[in-house]
Structures are given as structure tokens and as C-alpha cells.
Amino acid sequence: MGKVFSGVWPLMLGILLIMLGNGLHFTLIGVRGGLEGFSTTALAIVTSGYFIGFLSGARLTPLLIRNVGHVRVFAALGSFMSAALIAFPLLIEPISWTFLRILIGFCMSGIYVTAESWLNNAATNETRGKVLSAYMIMQTLGLIGAQGLLTLGDETTSTLFIGASIMVSLAFAPILLAATPVPAAEITRAMSLRQLFTRAPLSTIGIFLLGGIYATQTGMGAVFGGQIGMSAAQVALFVAALFTGALVFQFPIGWVSDRVDRRWLVFSCALAGLVFCLGGWVAQEVQWGLLAAAFLAGAVTTPLYALFLAHANDWLAQDEMSAASGGLVFTFGLGAILGPLATGWAMADFGPFAFWLVMSATFSVIALYALWRMTRRAGTPAEETESYVAVLPSTSAVVVQAAVEWSAEQADNEREAEAERALSELDGDQTQGTR
């Protein structure tokens, strides 16, 4: 294990620090915006701004890398992001915050593309699966740890914004100073949405809807907490519960997905998400009930993302996977932009607990569509599916592309091994028969 991570630990450390800074700012925006008297609609627009920037960055960063290289793009984006984080307490106004969030989303998307390109380049075919799993765990731990940082400062001052900026600034030192070969700037052009829907309709629709749920949880969760009177520490615990659930259930759900019809698992997870979110609505202001609902809702949201990717791969040829990955990431981003806007509108008109009802309704649509798709064509037998790979929704198309390619390689290796075992057993039976 030590050899696997000897060449990538600076990248892992840098990603951990970036997630600490970004995760802290994500929750802090909701808390501080509420204290400043921002309306729910305004905070929803601010939240969506991040995903607008993220989607733009995913499209433009590869062009920047080709022109000036990974190192310069990485350093420049880090500088812009650090400056933007410090600017929040200086420009306390919804429109300014929206533009700052767009800038941070753009920077984070570019940072992911460059850092994940280095990570993928540093891994080998033998170590890529372990490296991707460790990367997912490091990201999640960073997001959870960021909620703990929120309790260490005063949310009414500039301290926490400065702390987030420092975390992001420090993150670039281990990555830029590491003696890691610079990868080639190769990003496959995304498959069109029409082609994607034709080939993998459940994954296309499902991942779009899931984008709205994920963005609502990560962006509007803090807004919901503030509106029902949670303290900053309670909001941090609530948001941490969402990510902790994802960390605990990612691998068990992945294990099941390689052994059953994935459409049934998508239906089951979406149905569970519907029930858990309704539980949050029923719990009202009971603290332990809200924490349990957040934990369980997060437990199915992030694994569903990886499930949709795996299901898409089951219906695509190997040479289509890279293009489809970019298309699915783009589709998820569109949903992430619209989700907080819809939730913010509902919370403004029907109260803060509409936060749970919007997510419940979205989970129900995913479940019903999965059930309908099962009536349209036969499923792929479990032994013929690609391997499930734990991938977070916050990653770029670089990691998604690497994950699906590794998944296909693993599935091919397993089939070849199974064929060799069957042939060996047949030869053994024939030898025994001649005796």
C-alpha cells in the first residue's frame, strides 16, 4: 500500500486542504448569508452561481491548459480562488456574492481538472482503482472536516473566510513542489445530450435530477439550518451528517451493484431517498431526527451518482465511454444549477421544510423513471456489467473518464480469469476421465 501512494501523497494532501477550504466556504455562505438578512431566493441564486462557474470551468480549462500548461493554470486558479474567498466579507451583497461564487466554481473546476490529470497520470493500471478510492475518501474527509472548522471561529467576522483562503493557498504547495511529471492535456469531447439519452436514458435523466438533489444538499442545507434556528455548530453537524452517510454507504452499495440489476438498485436507492427526506420533513425541528434524515439521505445520494455512471457504461461501447463521461458530468452540472433555484423558490413560498419536500419529489421522479425503464428493455446480466467505481459528484470529467476506463479493464480481466478457470476445470475433468 505504501508503494501505491508514495508518488501521489502530495496530490492527496493538496486535495484534502482544498476540500477543507472549499467545504468550509460552502457551509459558511449559507450561515453568514442568513445572518446578513439575504432572502432564501437570493441565497439559492448564490448557491447556483458556484455550479454555473463549475460547468463553465469544465469547458474552458482544457483550452487554457493547452495554451499555457498545467502548472500555470493551476497556480493562477488557486490565486483567484484564494482572493475570492477573502473578498466575501468585504462585499456583503447578494449580487457580488453570486459573481464570487461563479468565480470560485470556475476555479474549483479547473483545479479538479489539473489535479486529477496529475493524479491519473501518476497512477498505473494496477494501482488506479486503489488511488481513485483513496481520492474519494480524501475528498469526503475534507468536506466532513471542513464542518468541524466552522465551529472554531466566529461566523459573524472575517475569520472563517480568511481561514478558508489560507487552506486553499496552502493546498498548492505540496502539489506544485512535488516532482510529478506533467501530464498531457487531453480531454475528450463530450457526447451530445441527444446521443447520451438515446444510448443511456436512465443515466441521463437520473444524473440530471440527482444534480439538483446534490446541489440542494450541499448548498441549501446550511440555509435550511439557519432558517429553522440552528446554531453554526448545529448547521456544521447537519451538513457533516450528509457527507458522512455518503462515506459509510458508498462501498456497500457498490458491492451490491455488481451483483444485481442496477436499475433495481437505482429504484431502491431513490425510493429510500424519498422515504428519508420525508422523514426529515416529519421530524420538523427534532435535532436527532434531522441528523438521521441527513445521514441517510446523503447515504444514497452520492452512491447514486456512481451507479448512474456504471449503468451508462453497461450500455456503451468501450470507445464511447470517455465521451459519455463528459456528457454525464455536463448533465449533472445542469441539474445542479437548477436544483437550488427550485428549492429556494419552494422554501421562500412554503417555508424552510420545503427543503425536504423538493428532494423527496425529485427522488420519487428518479424512482418512477427507473421503474418505467425496466419495462422498456431487458437488463444487462450482472456477470456482464462493468465494475462499480466510487466516484464523487464533485469530481471533474478527468476522474470520471479514468474511473470508467478502469472499470471496463477490471470487468474484462474478471471475465478472462473466469474463462481461464472454466477451461482449467474442463481440462482437469478430461484428464481424470482418461485415467
What is the predicted pLDDT for the residue at 73?
85
Report whether pLDDT(435) > 60.
Answer: no
39 contact partners, CB below 8 Å, separation of at least 6: 94, 348
What is the pLDDT confidence band of residue 118, given thresholds at 50, 70 and 90?
confident
* Residue 134 banded pLDDT, cuts 50, 70, 90: confident
* Per-range mean pLDDT, top range of 65-69, 175-179, 190-194, 346-350: 346-350
Domains of the chain: 2-181+191-423 (1.20.1250.20)
Nine-digit cell string for 293 = 434524515
pLDDT for 384: 59
Tell me: pLDDT of 386 over 80: no
Dmax (CA) of the chain: 87
Verdict on whether the full-model pTM lies above 0.85: yes
**Rg value, the chain, Cα:** 22
Share of the chain above pLDDT 70, in %: 83
Q: How far is CA 170 from the centre of its chain?
A: 23
The answer to whether 191 and 326 have CB atoms below 8 angstroms apart is: yes
How confident is the model at residue 4, as a pLDDT?
56
Is there a contact between 210 and 366 (Cβ–Cβ < 8 Å)? yes
296: pLDDT confidence band, cut at 50, 70 and 90? very high
The highest-confidence range among 169-183, 323-337, 400-414, by mean pLDDT, is: 323-337
Residue 319: DSSP 8-state = G
Cell of 281: 420533513
Q: Is the pLDDT of residue 367 over 60?
A: yes
Given this model, what pLDDT does residue 314 score? 78
pLDDT at 425 over 70: no
d(CA 291, CA 86): 31
Of the ranges 102-106, 172-176, 270-274, 421-425, which one carries the lowest mean pLDDT score? 421-425
CA–CA gap between residue 318 and residue 404 (Å, rounded): 9
278 has pLDDT over 70: yes
**417 falls in which pLDDT band (50, 70, 90)?**
low
pLDDT score of 406 more than 80: no
pLDDT range class, residue 115, cuts 50, 70, 90: confident
At residue 381 the predicted structure's pLDDT band, cuts being 50, 70 and 90, is low
Q: Is the pLDDT of residue 5 over 90?
A: no
- 128's grid cell: 488506479
